[in-house]
Amino acid sequence: MELNQRKGKVMIEQTLEDALSEVYLQISPNILESFPKFRPPVDLYIYDQAVAQVKKFHRAEARLGTEKQAVVATFARENLLFLLRDDYRVYAEHLSRKLGLVLVEDDFKAREVSEIFFIAFRDRMDVFLSQPKIEPFKELLRDVSILAEYLWTDPCRVEFLTKTLHKEYDLSVHSVNTMFIGLGLFVMASGARPERMEVVNLALGLILHDLGMTNVPKFITDKTQYLVWRDRGSIENHINAGLKKLERLEINDPTVRQCMSQHHERLDGSGYPEGLRADSMSMAGRLCAVADSFSAIIGDRPYHSSKVFNEAAGTLIADKGRYEPALTRLLVGLLKEGFPGCVGEDMN
């Protein structure tokens, strides 16, 4: 009888914990420290053990006095402090500035972490593209290394990155979309856990592939009508401009350079700047070409509206002879069916 009672109590506690985790995210001391000290950006909740209920303890943006800060910190240490999971976009903005937390906190859902990564890289690229110097690059490299560690621990997580693409017209957004979809294709094509540095170098190549576009005047990139030859020349020159920026930053990894120099090359030789054919293109260049084109098609641009993901992938498959067929097939499979054999949290 006593054993059955203990088992029943454990089952009830587990059911309660599962129910809480669906609605609330536990705030650890590390997460709490990532928030502004005096004005937390989200409502704070505590678990009242006496009545086995979660109650609101503090309203978002309201001033949190010193004494109340100490109380909140105690709740966090005792695993009794929570926020609503529906507020994750708010705290994602804060955690995106401390990405290392996603490696040590185990209460996040993969879709939440993916959104945190997107915000972090979008904001990091905004800074780097406006000031492509060594210090902003070091910060970008640090975040890329965190992402590589996150994916190395569980490659299936990359599926959620590919479901966190945004459609607004923005170079930073396009760069992050290209990195996420490119990493998804890479992990699927690898068929095994990739090496960390492979992920780091490819991720850098993907996110930096359009670095030279910062040299193209906005009045050209925003044009809605047909581009004259002079405008097209300015756009096509963005590859050489980007390679020169890599040289100034002393970024010499061949994968990074291949992504940048070959993402507009096509297997049939119709691309630029060198008109390379299939036998002269690297695999990194082929992969970046697919990821870049897909990201461009799904984005809202001044000269075309965005396409849904499956339609965009179908466009690349229909453009026979120009894109790597194995990669475009993987892209369709990734969008329709996800990663084969990946089962776990949110994988339904």
Domains in the chain: boundaries: 1-90, 96-337
Residue 320 has pLDDT above 60, yes or no: yes
Residue 80 has pLDDT above 50, yes or no: yes
H helical segments located in 131-170: 134-153, 158-161
Helix axes 110-130, 88-95, angle to 10 degrees: 50
Higher-scoring residue by pLDDT: 236, 250: 250
List Cβ<8 Å contacts ≥24 apart for 325-328: 326/189, 327/185, 327/189, 327/286, 327/287, 327/290, 328/290
- Digit-coded pLDDT (tens) for 151-184: 999 999 999 999 999 988 899 999 999 999 999 9
Percent residues over pLDDT 90 in the chain:
61
Identify the pLDDT of residue 203.
98
pLDDT band at 259 (very low <50, low <70, confident <90, very high): very high
Distance of CA 41 to the CA centre of its chain: 22
pLDDT band (50, 70, 90) for residue 88: confident
**Stretch 1-19: mean pLDDT:** 46
What band does 98 get if pLDDT is binned at 50, 70 and 90?
A: confident
Predicted local distance difference test score (pLDDT) of residue 288: 98
Q: Which CATH architecture has domain 96-337?
A: Orthogonal Bundle (1.10)
pLDDT confidence of 348, banded at 50, 70, 90?
Answer: very low
Decide if pLDDT at 188 tops 70.
yes
Q: Is the pLDDT of residue 147 over 60?
A: yes
CB 316 within 8 A of CB 331: yes
- Angle at 296 (CA atoms; ends 335, 224), nearest 5 degrees: 140
- Provide the β-strand partners of residue 54: 47
Residue 347: pLDDT band (50, 70, 90) is very low
Average pLDDT over residues 68-73: 95
Average pLDDT value for residue range 48-53: 85
pLDDT at 224: 54
The neighbouring-strand residues paired with 82 are 26, 45
Mean pLDDT of the chain, nearest integer: 86
Tokens, residue 33: 């420290």
- What local confidence, expressed as pLDDT, does residue 232 receive? 64
pLDDT of residue 187: 93
32 versus 2: the higher-pLDDT residue is 32
Arithmetic mean of pLDDT, 120-140 = 96
pLDDT at 275 over 80: yes
* Chain center to CA of 107: 19
CB 186 within 8 A of CB 339: no
